[in-house]
């Protein structure tokens, strides 16, 4: 795995991708940030050695290099989900490559179902902690020790300093930003009423099918990470409406504007 990461890294270095200290993973329906990037290079995942290829229509599969303000950033337009059939090694491969390219701070966005009934869909949530219910840990296996400690500490997986910067930006922009716990499930089916009840009782505010593997891999490598969820559907077990992916994408597109302004503000302040 390390050799593959190094090969992908060598390829990207040749294209100037070793100049950025900030990277951003754009989640489902949240690719609009790309319009705010002064794009210098854009490479299809399929052209990068060993990069998995995105299979979901709403994820376009490009690694973008550019600037936001004066800051160099790399943006992943499209990410890899466990539910698409990838191994966890594949899911976190790009994060390992980003670290090896010299990135030190990673911002992640995702779409999540909202189980905290004091909040509403369309709002944002800063992830302060998570529960991992995906079936495999990306650090499983001897190979992972090459990237950092196998028994990676997870007492504070979301960087407090980045989180502070995000809260300051949200306040300044007058955007409501909730804080809470994200639970990662394997998907791709959505949850039953009983499952939402169970997950809420377990201490989670929102539920989604991504992010946690990348956060674990980032922590192992000492890459600072912060993540924001866009709450795309209300998951009230006592009043559960059927949801469809179209609705989720539409809600994401509306909330995306606030998310983009927060990330822009934070990146420029770094
Ligand atoms: N469950 C799991 N993942 C999701 C949901 C949900 O309700 N909404 C958006 N991603």
Q: Which residues contact 149 (CB under 8 A, 6 or more apart)?
A: 220
Q: Are 215 and 129 in contact (CB under 8 A)?
A: no
Q: Residue 143 has what pLDDT?
A: 80
Question: Two tokens at 215?
Answer: 């956060």
Mutation test of ligand 1: which of 82, 109, 112 has the most ligand atoms closer than 8 Å to its C-beta? Answer: 112
- What's the CA gap between 144 and 152, in Å, rounded? 11
- What's the CA gap between 14 and 66, in Å, rounded? 15
Q: Residue 244 has what pLDDT?
A: 76
Distance 202 CA to ligand 1 centre (A): 16
Q: Residue 144 has what pLDDT?
A: 82
Beta bridge partners of 73: 22, 66
Q: Are 143 and 60 in contact (CB under 8 A)?
A: no
- What's the CA gap between 23 and 214, in Å, rounded? 12
Q: Residue 55 has what pLDDT?
A: 60
Q: Which residues line ligand 1 (CB under 6 A)?
A: 111-113, 185, 190-191, 207-209, 232-233, 235, 248
Q: Which residue has the CA at smallest separation from atom 2 of ligand 1?
A: 208
- What's the CA gap between 179 and 190, in Å, rounded? 23
DSSP secondary structure code for residue 240 in this structure: P
Atom of ligand 1 nearest to the CA of 208: 3
| Intervals of the chain under pLDDT 70 | 29, 54-60
- What's the CA gap between 22 and 99, in Å, rounded? 10
Q: Which residue has the CA at smallest separation from atom 4 of ligand 1?
A: 208
Distance 6 CA to ligand 1 centre (A): 34
Q: Are 95 and 224 in contact (CB under 8 A)?
A: no
Distance 170 CA to ligand 1 centre (A): 24
Give the three-state DSSP class for 199: helix
Q: Residue 29 has what pLDDT?
A: 64
Domain coordinates in residue numbering, the chain: 2-269
Q: Which CATH number fits domain 2-269: 3.40.50.720, 3.40.190.10, 3.40.50.1580, 3.30.450.20?
A: 3.40.50.1580
Q: Which residue has the CA at smallest separation from atom 7 of ligand 1?
A: 113
Atom of ligand 1 nearest to the CA of 185: 2
Q: Residue 54 has what pLDDT?
A: 59
């Amino acid at each position: 795995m390390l050799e593959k990461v190094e090969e992908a890294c060598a390829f990207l270095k040749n294209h100037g991708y070793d100049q950025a200290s900030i990277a951003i993973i754009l989640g489902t329906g949240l690719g609009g940030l790309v319009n705010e990037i002064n794009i210098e290079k854009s490479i299809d995942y399929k052209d990068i050695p060993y990069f998995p290829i995105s299979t979901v229509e709403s994820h376009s599969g490009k690694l973008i290099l550019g600037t936001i303000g004066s800051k160099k950033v790399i943006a992943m337009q499209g990410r890899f989900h466990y539910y698409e059939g990838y191994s966890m090694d594949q899911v976190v491969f790009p994060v390992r490559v980003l670290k090896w390219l010299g990135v030190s701070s990673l911002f992640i966005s995702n779409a999540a179902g909202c189980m905290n009934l004091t909040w509403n869909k369309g709002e944002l949530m800063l992830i302060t902690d998570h529960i991992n219910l995906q079936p495999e840990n990306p650090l499983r296996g001897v190979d992972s020790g090459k990237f950092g400690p196998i028994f990676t500490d997870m007492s504070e997986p979301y960087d407090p300093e980045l989180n502070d910067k995000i809260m300051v930006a949200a306040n300044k922009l007058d955007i409501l930003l909730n804080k809470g716990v994200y639970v990662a499930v394997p998907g791709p089916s959505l949850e039953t009423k009983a499952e939402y009840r169970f997950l809420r009782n377990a201490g989670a505010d929102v539920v989604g099918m991504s992010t946690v593997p990348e956060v674990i891999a980032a922590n192992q490598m000492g890459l600072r990470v912060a993540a924001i969820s866009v709450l795309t559907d209300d998951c009230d077990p006592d009043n559960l409406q059927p949801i469809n992916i179209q609705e989720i994408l539409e809600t994401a597109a509306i909330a995306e504007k606030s998310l983009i302004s927060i990330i822009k503000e934070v990146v420029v302040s770094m």
